[in-house]
Structure formats: C-alpha cells, structure tokens
A and B are shown apart, each in its own frame.
Chain A
Amino acid sequence: MHLDPPAPFPHRHTHSAQPAGAEPALRNGGLRALRVGLGGPVGSGKTATVAALCRALREEFSLAVVTNDIYTREDAAFLLRAAVLPPERIAAVETGACPHTAIRDDISANLEAVEDLEHAAASSGGLDLILVESGGDNLTATFSKGLVDAQIFVIDVAAGDDIPRKGGPGITTADLLVVNKTDLAPHVGSDLAAMARDAEAQRGSRPVAFTSIKAEDGVSPIADWTRARLAAWKQETVAL
C-alpha cells in the first residue's frame, strides 16, 4: 500500500449548536479531534474495521466512535460487547431509514453525537480521533465534508470482483479504499489483480488497502493510514 502525501484539511470549521465560546475545551491547543468516516455496503466489514482500529489505536490516541445503524443499535451494541472502547466513547445515531442522508444531506444528528462525545471527553483531556461509521449502504454513499475530514470506503472481495470497475462516488473519491476479506478470493473466484487494476483506474494515486481485517494484523494498513492522517492533521494545525 502507498500513502498519499499529507492532504490539506479545508473544512476545519464546524457548525455548532452552542454559542461561540461555549465549545468544549479542545485537545492540543484548540485542535478538535480528527473525524474519519467509514462507509461501504452492508456486510463488507465496516464494524469489524472500526473495532480493529480501536484496538490498534486506543493505547496511542484518545478515541470515540459514532455508529449509524439503519434500524437497530446493533453496531453500537457489538462495539460495546466487544469492549473496544468504554461505553461513554460510543454513540449511536438513528437514521430514519436513510443512512446516506444522515452522513451526507442532513448531518445534524451526527454532528450532535460528535459534539456530545467531545463535550463528555473534554474533562478527561479531550479526543484525538472520532470514527463515524455509516449504516450499510450502496456504492454512491459518501460523507459530507461538514461532518468528516477524511473517509474510508470498505468493500469486500466476496461481493464480486467487479465492484471497483463499477466505481461510484464511494469507490472513486474515498481517501482510502479498503478491499476486505482477501482470504476469501480463491473460494469465491475473485481476481485480486483485476480489482487492483480497476481500483487504480478509478482512483489514480489514491491509496487502496487489500487486507483481511479478521486476520492477525489485518488492520495494520488502515491503522498506519490513520496514524499518517492524524500526524498530518496535527502538523496542519501547528502551521495555522
């Protein structure tokens, strides 16, 4: 996997329901937490990725998670049961049968959840990173830049090796494309080399991580990418 050079973050402003000055104390001299969205089709491994990322990064960084279930609180419940983070660091948003609306067209409930998590963590030193997991959706789902600073799109080889070729905003514009369950490729007849070629054709130099999240260290390419984004995020703020 190759990593992009640190990209600028044009959307540092945030629309708050609180008056100016009433925002929670932010970590690192006024820097709010980096917000990373995780989207992708149902069953591709978004929640498993979030859980693995939390386990990989929680010793180094102060983390929180927002889940967007379509009709239950199952994803949040899974993360709670797996105890990847303390309960006060996990918030569930209800999406009114439209998961993409809640992350793109009307982000208010998600921003509220993010704000509440930052507020709750302010007294214990604040947050470095907030992961926002979308409900399982289709290939057109992307996050609003008003909600997240960077986004990861998770697909899997078992859903068909033609998905990268089909493209769509999630595949083409995500800052990181994760192709999960590579261990299943021989069993479902998926051609990983073709997927890599198609992904490159769609995405140019944007990074793609082929991995199996459930394998040992399967999350490490995604964790490394996230660390690089966090470093760039902090550097960017120091430069401001």
Chain B
Amino acid sequence: MTTAALLVLADGRFPAGTHAHSGGAEAAVRAGRIVDSATLADFCRGRLHTSGLVASGLAAAAAGGHNPRDLDEAADARTPSPALRRTSRKLGRQLMRAGRAVWPSAALDDLAQACPGGAHEPVVLGLLALSAGLSPLDAAHAAAYESVSVPTTAAVRLLGLDPFEASAVLARLAPSINKIAEGGTQAARSGIDALPAAAAPLLEITAEDHATWPVRLFAS
C-alpha cells in the first residue's frame, strides 16, 4: 500500500544532502582500492555488511517506535570515528529538514527539538519512515540501500565510471540488500541492546584522514 512512499524516501534525488557525500568512496578511490566496477562492488559489499547493517537496525528500531534518543546514543556507541559521527549528525539534520517538509509529524518535531545539532541519520530515517506510514522493514531497506547507493553515485563522478555498470553493481547487490534489511529488522525486534554493531575499521580510519584533506570533491 505504501510502496510508492518508500520509493520517494529512497530516491537518490530526495533532497537531504547525500549528494555531497561519498560514503568513504573518495578516500578509497585515492588509495587505489576502488578503480573499476568490480572493486566498487567489493567496497559496497563491505560497507553494506558493516555500516549498512548497523544503519538498517537503527532505522528499523526507530520506525518500530523505540525511543529515538536512546537510539541516538546507540548510534554514537556504534560509530567510533568522530568524523563519521559529525557526518551522520549533519546528514541527520538535513534529512530532518527535508522530512519535516515532506512528511511532517509530531515525532519528528520532538526529535528536532531534542537534537538541534542533528540526530544520527539512520535514526531520523527510521522516524521519517514511520511518519510516512512505512514499516520497520521498509526503513531498513532504505538505510541498507543508501549505504551502497551513495558510494556508487560518488564513484561514477570520481572515476568517470560507466553509469550502466555502476547501476548493475547495485542491481547485483539487491539480494544482499534484502538480507541485510531483514537482519537489521529482526535484530530491532529484540530491543536496542540487540542491534547490530558490525564495525568497518578501515572506513573509520580513512574517514578521519579524509576529513583533513584540504582539497576534496566530497564532504565525506
């Protein structure tokens, strides 16, 4: 019934600021770890199974009615890198702005008031999904998909990658995206302490380094 709302939310053109972020792809391209569509697929698979899974769980929990303030703390605990925490809160604040204009709700207003500097993006995403009448699984799907669509879009710009090949990378990841979303949703049913905490140390380390670059195309 609400599938179309999920398409609106997960659309890369949804104006929530992600276009200026690469999800770690810019650092990986510079380091020579992403050079073509095959290495992009490897990078995306790693991101999906770590930060993508964590984001899925958080988003599903927020959409399932768990306390967003508690979830925000849980997101902090699962994000060791200060640079990635800043990025997540910045994107959360921008998503909040777009979300309150698109699917306004008292729950979004409350969280905006409680976290004026921005709550973590997956938490805002889950709450926004709830405001849009979407399910926890829908929210998890949006979070999991974003974890790979952001670096893929960035790689197209950074490498001049064939856009058809890049979309094929995402299409081939679809079964994994589904599994991650289901896993995150299942964990969220067992409560905040059961949420996934998969770590990607290299993403954390390169994010800290990237944040210090004087010349870069993407904000993260």
Contact = CB atoms under 8 A, between A and B. Distances in A.
Contact of B218 (A19, A97, A106, A112): A97
A98 B214 CA distance: 18
A94 interface: yes
Interface stretch (B89-97, B125-133, B166-174): B89-97
Interface stretch (B16-24, B46-54, B135-143, B199-207): B16-24
Interface residues of B, number: 32
Given A17-B118, A96-B154, A106 B101 contact: no
B109 A19 contact: yes
B101 A19 contact: no
A20 B16 CA distance: 19
Interface in A122-144: none
A20 B97 CA distance: 12
Contact of A96 (B19, B101, B116): B19
Interface string B80-98: 0000000000100110111
A6 B214 CA distance: 42
B98 A15 contact: yes
Contact of B20 (A16, A72, A109): A109
A19 B15 contact: no
Interface string A106-127: 1111011000000000000000
Contacts of A102: 19-20
A218 to B, nearest CB: 31
Nearest to B157: A97
Contact of B97 (A22, A71, A98, A111): A111
Contact of A19 (B112, B118, B154, B219): B112
Given A19-B109, A106-B19, A96 B100 contact: no
> Of A71, A101, A108, A111, which is in contact with the most chain B CB atoms at under 10 Å from its CB?
A108
B15 A108 contact: yes
Nearest to B106: A19
Contacts of A49: none
Q: Which of A94, A96, A98 has the most CB of B within 10 A?
A: A96
Contacts of A211: none
A191 interface: no
B13 A96 contact: no
A109 B214 contact: no
Contacts, number: 83
A145 to B, nearest CB: 13
B94 A105 contact: no
A105 B214 contact: no
A18 B94 contact: no
Interface in A1-33: 15-20, 22
B30 interface: no
B216 interface: yes
A144 B140 CA distance: 31
B13 A71 contact: no
Nearest to A107: B15
A95 interface: yes
Contact of B216 (A22, A71, A111, A112): A71
A96 B219 contact: yes
A95 B109 contact: no
A42 B112 CA distance: 37
Contact of A101 (B19, B112, B217, B218): B19
B3 interface: no
Contact of A17 (B21, B97, B219): B97
A93 B20 CA distance: 9
Given A15-B98, A97-B157, A98-B19, 15 more contacts: A15-B100, A16-B100, A17-B93, A71-B217, A94-B216, A95-B20, A96-B20, A96-B22, A96-B154, A96-B218, A101-B19, A101-B20, A106-B17, A109-B20, A111-B97
By Cβ-Cβ distance, the 9 closest A-B pairs, closest first, are: A96-B20, A108-B94, A17-B97, A94-B219, A106-B15, A108-B17, A97-B217, A15-B101, A19-B113
Interface of B: 13, 15-22, 90, 93-94, 96-98, 100-101, 109-110, 112-113, 116, 118, 154, 157-158, 214-219
5 contacts: A17-B97, A22-B112, A72-B214, A96-B21, A106-B15
